[in-house]
Structure 1
Amino acid sequence: MESETNKKLRKIIHIDMDAFYASVEQRDNPEYRGKAIAVGGSPEGRGGVVATASYEARKFGVRSAMPSKRALQLCPELIFIRPRFDVYKEASRKIREIFSRHTDIIEPLSLDEAFLDVTEDKQQIGSAIEIAKLIKQAIKDELQLTASAGVSVNKFVAKIASDLNKPDGLTFIGPSSIESFMEKLPVEKFFGVGKVTADKMKRMGLHTGADLKRLSENDLKTHFGKVGAFYYRIVRGIDEREVQPHRETKSLGAEDTFPYDLTRTEEMNAELEKIAVTVYERLKRYGLKGRTVTLKIKYSDFRQITRNQSFPVPVGDLEKILETAKQLLLSTEPEDKPVRLLGISLSNFGEIVPVNNRPDNTIQLSLFDDV
């Protein structure tokens, strides 16, 4: 039995670039180094949205998807920079080349983040930790950028690990350490536990994974509904999802299914902000703009609706996508029914031109992809 379990253990690396867009700007423009910068829309006029903030700006509370006007209030010396997606895309391509030296099983989540399955690595190094070190060093030497890496036996734990020692971090959580690690983790760090759920848990005396672990699966379902089964598994570090190669090339939109139902408009808007950033990045990657923005909603009873708005000229900027999605959400009286999934897509592109302008480069796009 023990040998069977060991056979099934995978070696998963999650690589997350450190403040990617901002770091590229600081690399290419020495005058920005050491300063608080935000890549995104200007706070002038109606104001834009922050796509990425440097670590110097994050010390003031500036974060991705935050309105630029709010970011400027938090950090009056903040420097706003228009995105250069052609430059970020090229850096992302080079990072992917570094990944591919070790494995072809690569699942990009965005331009700056990916899962790698190195259970069978090309160079037969055998150690996921050593591979992560080599990847980080290659990114630093060849691109003058830093990345953080998480290494474990599944995607969920590897992703949490990559965020623990940013920037330029490397964290390994082995099979024997997963449960003890999860027990110490604050409940708000668990995927799917938002502010509302975290507050409810704390009122119940549930502050850490260890507290959650004391409850049976039925108890968790009683208090949190069907998502209780998810909490029961994830607090034990159980995640059987496989790394899925090439997923990012199949989408002109993004959606996310939540492990718990959203019931408040502010929660839904917060999730839409994250989804809109992902959509924005994917549109830029393909060089696309669309005339129609579509919001997809799936309710807790699995009933699904879509709402869309069309424009006379194509749109592709983050602010417009997010503003439109929020307005479409508002038109559905969002707090009337619990929501389990939200998605945003753009369509009605007209002519699709590949970003490298090669006429023989066709792109297969599906309507949605998971965030």
Structure 2
Amino acid sequence: MSEITYRDAGLNLDTYEETLEGIRPLMLRTQDRTRVLDGFGGFASLFDLDPNRWLFNRKYRKPVLVTCTDGVGTKLKIATMMDRYETVGIDLVAMSVNDALCTGAEPLVFLDYLAMPKDDPTLTKRLMVGMSEGCMQAQCSLTGGETAILPDFYAPGDFDMAGFCVGVVDKDRIIDGKQIQVGDAVIGLESSGIHSNGYSLVRKLAFDIAKLGVHDRVPELSQTVGETLLTPTRIYVQAVHAILRNYPVKKRVVRGLAHITGGGLVDNVPRILPPGRRVFLKRGSWPIPPVFTWLQGIGNVPQAEMDRVFNMGIGFVMVVAPYFAESIIRQLAAEGVPAHLIGEVREGEPAVEWVS
């Protein structure tokens, strides 16, 4: 009987080592060496949570850890169809760090879980390019993760990604929406497009109903279908942190933060509203990206369905004291994030209501 090795079962440990060497520089470029203590290759990652570090110009007096996890979803199918994997890692980082940001937290570290049917150093590196870039944008350290090779679980060409973020916020400076008041202004920060939600409906509309391919050019989009659908999720960390530095939480200027993901504005904004507070949003108060109008037209999708599946051009929401709203919008623009006054808070049970 011939000898059987791990390679015969579908795993090559030498190829795995090649994968690690390929991603090492992409991880190290993101790391704050004064805080990440172990660098690369250990069993676990070490991060120095020094209470004397500064957060929004204040020391951590009562540091609270914030944890988030998310994935990219079926947007990965578009990446495979396009053979373009360098941007979905940005999406992976964005989905978690934008969630952590809703507490007022500073993202500290990011870890990934990558599952595929066989070792593929080239694909892994291409995916890590995006994760590294996303961490640079979020100013957090990519400290490690896991590459799982599952030859009998994933079909050839399939893979999945998940991401994990750990952040920190001072206990006295947590933003949880409890301070939201009647009359507060609702500011919408523009999305970069679809972001990473609703792609099962997107793929049905674009490929099954419209019968388009990823390389087909759509005049109203000014680019190919695939290019539009792979536009990375916007990361809001630096822009929102800039506002929080200018308006310390103790002044209660910024009262609520919401990441607009699956469920759209309709489901995500109420998550931060206290009892007796309802948000009224004004249609037409921000530009709708052409991709949403295009998708809606393909399948005659009801407006209510569009509002609940997609972000419709607003990827993040800030609820702020009304006196400061216009100034905050100008500051966000200076940070490279266009924003709009899209509504206000009134009395009522937590929900979103549309006004014309």
TM-score class normalised by the smaller sequence: under 0.3
Structure having greater relative contact order (Cα 8 Å, sep ≥ 6): 2
Give me the TM-score of the superposition, normalised by structure 1.
Answer: 0.24
Give me the TM-score of the superposition, normalised by structure 2.
Answer: 0.25
More helix per residue: 1
